Amino acid sequence: MEAIKWNSDSITVLNAQLLPDKSYYHNYKNFREIGAAVEAKIIPGTVSRAIAVVMSASLTAEQSVNLKADQFKEHLSFVVDYFEKITLANPLTGGILSKLRKEVAGSSNNTETVKKFKEMSVSFFSDLHDRCAAVAENVQHTMVSGESILLFSAAGSSLAAPAGGFITSALIAAKKDDKQISTCCCETRPDFSGSRIMAFDLKNEGLETQVIPDIQSHYVMKKKLISRVVVVADSIFEKGVFRAHCGCAMLVLAARSLGVPVDLVIPGFLFDKRDYAEVEIEANRASINEVAIVNNGVVAPEGIVIGNYLSDTVDCSDISRFITDKGVFDNWQNTLASLKSS
């Protein structure tokens, strides 16, 4: 199932918020519509959101080709600024948007700039696909027949990343190799991305799984129903911490206390050169409705302050293995050295 499709005059996006009940696609025809979809998390995952942003920037250039040269440059610069602002916490968009900005600054011919935007976008997508496929292959190599894996977050699904998703693609390959792998998805509150997206994706691919409430992860590990945990990170920082869906830190600490190994899936393109505190402070708020309203019913008293945070940072020293597009590493120092050179 495709999450995003680039058309000649629009971008088709699967509304992940309506899963698993409805598979609804919407055509977005301008950058503000795509921006709103990114901010509302209609598009799942760091990687898919970056893809949508780059598609939209390229489409905007095409739509603006007949403007006067100075208006063309001004408009594209505004669009790049806009996308940088709404994807602050996404390390993947920063690099490609910076390259597009330089192209705009040096633009002297609208048509050539549009062509260059498209070439850069296609190259970006191709590189992403190959590196995501490499991650999935390395994930599959770590899988041992007979094990039971607890999955956290939907970032490993085919809806959140190219090449069939880091986790989904690896599980499909493991099945073809006759590896008997059982999986369990944390529901991943408050947006339920684990149950709505990850479990949906596995079922859609003919893979059996089960869903448990996040608070029961300690129980299934204590009862030895789980042999390892696999987490997909949103980014990793040089100081030895990674960022993932809020709740990940509690899961990792619970696993560590019970002696259950935790593997972190982190592609090199999600290495973030910034200070993680900057990202945490400026881009870590989610909709309060995810907490206050469940199944269209209000579950929090009116008038109280509601907190809801998108992500959490976790110490890399609590991770057993790091699975990247460059290989599998046993410590975060070697992992970071490899990611920084990629």
The pLDDT value recorded for residue 293 is 63
Q: Tell me the three state secondary structure of residue 115.
A: helix
Give the number of other CB atoms < 10 A from CB of residue 85.
Answer: 11
Looking at the chain, the domain(s) classified CATH 3.40.50.10470 span: 135-341
Provide the pLDDT for residue 274: 77
SS3 state at 68: coil
Residue 22's pLDDT is 87
Is 4-131 assigned to CATH 3.40.50.150?
no
Name residue, tokens 């935007």. Answer: 117
Q: What is the pLDDT of residue 289?
A: 66
Q: What is the pLDDT of residue 298?
A: 66
The Cα angle at residue 102 between residues 101 and 106, in degrees rounded to 5: 120
Task: Give every residue of the chain whose pLDDT is below 70, as ranges.
Answer: 1, 276-299, 342
Tens digit of pLDDT for each residue in 94-118? 889 999 999 999 988 999 999 999 9
Q: What is the pLDDT of residue 88?
A: 76
Helix/strand/coil for 195: helix
Which residue do the tokens 């080709």 mark? 65
* Spatial separation of the C-alpha atoms in residues 214 and 216, rounded to whole Å: 5
Integer Cα distance of 114 and 120 in angstroms: 10
Q: Give helix 110-142 / helix 166-176 axis angle, nearest 10°.
A: 50
Given this structure, which CATH class describes domain 135-341?
alpha beta
Domain with CATH 1.20.120.420 in the chain: 4-131
CB of 198 closer than 8 Å to CB of 153: yes
